[in-house]
């Protein structure tokens, strides 16, 4: 079975490098215009409930059934959401969080461990359902954090969390065999995809 772990298109927060987290930020006009339909047409696509992921899925997979999964939403960054690192360069709570490799609790938000546990739980359920249905592919449209959490836990080759943040409108294609997944919870990376127009955005 092939697994597609995809990230939503570009938002204004992406451009300004602001923490989006669970804020329901839409695609920017430029981000929406850059997207193109995917080269696959799965029966179902599992989508984060945040509108930037839903908008992207509708463009990439116009003929697919979109199934919303709340636990695929991005990590909650609490009081950091809506701000970028420049605006917080003297914020003691932000500096403490960054100084701990961003693993502690965002004030008012999640820890990375909590976020990863939430993300992995829904992913494992979807994997089991896909294998049970003998699906040809499992397609997930979510966020950069979703990709990082799942790839760090389950992807071969093994890389750390921050290695795995894919581009807007793109992500990773992996393969998994039922026996290997059940025995070792591992998937093998096949490559990367990006569903945006080829001309350079300005």
Active-site residue numbers? 8, 74
3-state secondary structure labels for all residues of the chain: CEEEEEECCCCHHHHCCECCCCCCCCCCHHHHHHECCCCCCCCEEEEECCHHHHHHHHHHCCCCEEEEEHHHCCCCCHHHCCCECCCCCCCHHHHHHHHCCCCCCCCCCCCHHHHHHHHHHHHHHHHHHHHHCCCCEEEEEECHHHHHHHHHHHEECCCCHHHHCCCCCEEEEEECCHHHHHHHCCEEEEEEEECECCCCCC
Dihedral of CA atoms 157, 161, 164, 168 in degrees, nearest 10, equals 160
Compute the distance between CA of residue 139 and CA of residue 39 in angstroms, rounded to an integer: 12
């Amino acid at each position: 079975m092939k697994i597609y772990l995809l990230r939503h298109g570009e938002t204004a927060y992406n451009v300004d490098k602001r923490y989006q987290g669970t804020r329901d930020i839409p695609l920017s006009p430029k981000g929406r215009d850059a997207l193109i339909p995917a080269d696959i047409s799965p029966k179902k696509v599992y989508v984060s409930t945040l509108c930037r992921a839903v908008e992207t899925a509708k463009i990439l997979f116009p003929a697919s059934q979109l199934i919303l999964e709340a636990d695929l939403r991005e990590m909650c960054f609490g009081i950091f959401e809506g701000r970028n690192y420049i605006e917080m360069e003297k914020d003691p709570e932000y500096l403490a969080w960054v100084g701990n490799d961003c693993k502690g609790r965002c004030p008012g938000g999640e820890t990375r461990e909590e976020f990863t546990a939430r993300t992995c739980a829904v992913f494992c359920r979807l994997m089991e359902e896909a294998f049970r249905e003998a699906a040809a592919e499992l397609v997930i449209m979510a966020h950069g954090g979703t990709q990082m959490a799942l790839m760090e836990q389950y992807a071969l080759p093994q890389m750390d969390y921050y290695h795995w943040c894919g581009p807007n409108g793109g992500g990773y294609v992996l393969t998994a065999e039922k026996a290997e997944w059940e025995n070792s919870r591992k998937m093998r990376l096949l490559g990367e995809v990006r569903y945006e127009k080829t001309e350079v955005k300005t």
